[in-house]
Amino acid sequence: SEHKGVTRPPGYPLFLSFVYSIFGHSYQAVRIFQALIDTLTCLVIFYLGGAIFNFSIGHIAALGYAFYFPVIIYTGVLYTETVFSLLLAIAMLFLLVAIKYDRFIHWMFSGLFLGATTLISSRSEFVPFFILIALLLNKYSLKNSFIKIGVIVLFMLLVISPWTIRNYLVTGKFILIENYNQDGRGLWLATNPYGAMTWSDPEVKELVKDMPINERVIFFQREARENLKRYPLSYLQTSIKRFFTLLFSSHGGHILGLQSSFHSAWTEKDWPVLCFKSLLLCINSLFTVFGFLGLWFSGIKREKEKLVLLVPIFYFIILHTFYVSSARLQISIIPYMMIFSILGIDRTLKLIFPRKSGHSEKFPVCRRSL
């Protein structure tokens, strides 16, 4: 088939096949596995928060993540976010240890886990560019930075290479992970000036009806470039919308009874649904605001290792602001934003309720070995 090897990386299907091979075709078994996986993410958050700030921040951030409703919602849905978040968090943890102790094995494992993350979703394939910036800001020399990032990329590609080879054997073309996500429509959808559209809209399908997939990719790339030239202001407006879509959402679309939009609930005067969705939206919005406050309060002067936490935050915000965005993609940055959100809440409370003299206003830096 012309579609083989181009539309989806193999990581999550392999995870599903592993669960199904043990428990049969059971969606409930997948949900249980994903809940267990998210428990491991809590542990990684604990170590990240403890290593960069202190173990109090790590404890509270891990606890907050465990009970945060968007995270709980997506463990019950067969999406890539839960597995993706764990593997990415482990990659960031090894990166933190590598920056602290500068041992080859830590750089290697960071690359290996980043490669595994990319096999779950190709969204992470350009993370190394942001890691390079973090290394330079950590006062690594340009040469040393490229050596370290070279190790990460090498082992990342080592994990990805079997799938790349498979793609070549099946399609006869070099396709690293996937062929521009859904035959290139993602790029066109991000730049189109015609309002919100999805991959499944009839208008989009009609554009490339009966067109071979390779021609579709070329077509959508060309049209995307033309859209950027002709409608730059429209692209800027939709990018702003994507930013708010990513960070400010009720995440109620996957909760039984809350699938309707705010507009539908208001039109139908479904006040219980409207009130509950509004409550969830307020909670997530406060989480986001306190996360950015934590970023502001923390700065980068005292512990530059915290740049490790900034890598996924800024990478995915930039990616989904200027490319394709949806509420569920916020899950990728929640582990790191949770740490900064707890920090933001703590510092805000200290400003409102100042502590007596003799108490330090700063978190003690954790020097305990990971």
Two tokens, residue 251 = 């995440």
**Arithmetic mean of pLDDT, 238-262:** 88
CA distance linking residue 252 with residue 264, whole number of Å: 13
Query: What is the tens place of the pLDDT at every residue in 151-188?
Result: 999 999 999 999 999 888 887 888 888 865 555 677 88
d(Cα 227, Cα 192) in Å, to the nearest integer? 6
What pLDDT, on the 0 to 100 scale, is given for residue 4?
Answer: 47
* Number of Cβ atoms within 10 Å of the Cβ of 315: 21
The pTM for the full model equals: 0.89
Q: Which residue has the higher pLDDT, 56 or 218?
A: 56
Neighbouring CB atoms inside 10 A of 151's CB total 17
pLDDT of 86 higher than 70? yes
- Predicted confidence (pLDDT) per residue in 196-222, tens digit: 666 667 777 777 777 776 677 788 888
Residue 100 predicted with pLDDT over 80: yes
C-alpha to C-alpha distances, 171 to 13, 164, 167, nearest whole angstrom: 20, 10, 6
pLDDT of residue 363: 41
From the number of C-beta atoms within 10 Å of its C-beta (0-12, 13-18, 19+), residue 238 rates as buried
Residue 259: both structure tokens together: 């699938």
Question: 219: exposed, middle or buried (C-beta count within 10 Å: 0-12, 13-18, 19+)?
Answer: middle
CA neighbours within 13 Å on the CB side: how many for 300?
13
Which 3-state string (H, E, C) describes 174-228?
CCCCCCCCHHHHHHHHHHCCCCCCCCCCHHHHHHCCCCCHHHHHHHHHHHHHHHH
The region that residue 54 occupies, defined by phi over 0 for left and psi between -120 and 50 for alpha, beta otherwise, is beta
pLDDT at position 369: 43
CA dihedral angle for residue 49, residue 50, residue 56, residue 62, rounded to 10 degrees: 50
Among 156, 11, 10, 14, CA closest to 85: 11
Cα torsion 207, 12, 335, 137 to 10°: value is: -80
Q: Which of 43-57, 105-119, 136-150 shows the highest mean pLDDT?
A: 105-119
| Residue 360: pLDDT band with limits 50, 70, 90 | very low
Q: Is the pLDDT of residue 150 over 60?
A: yes
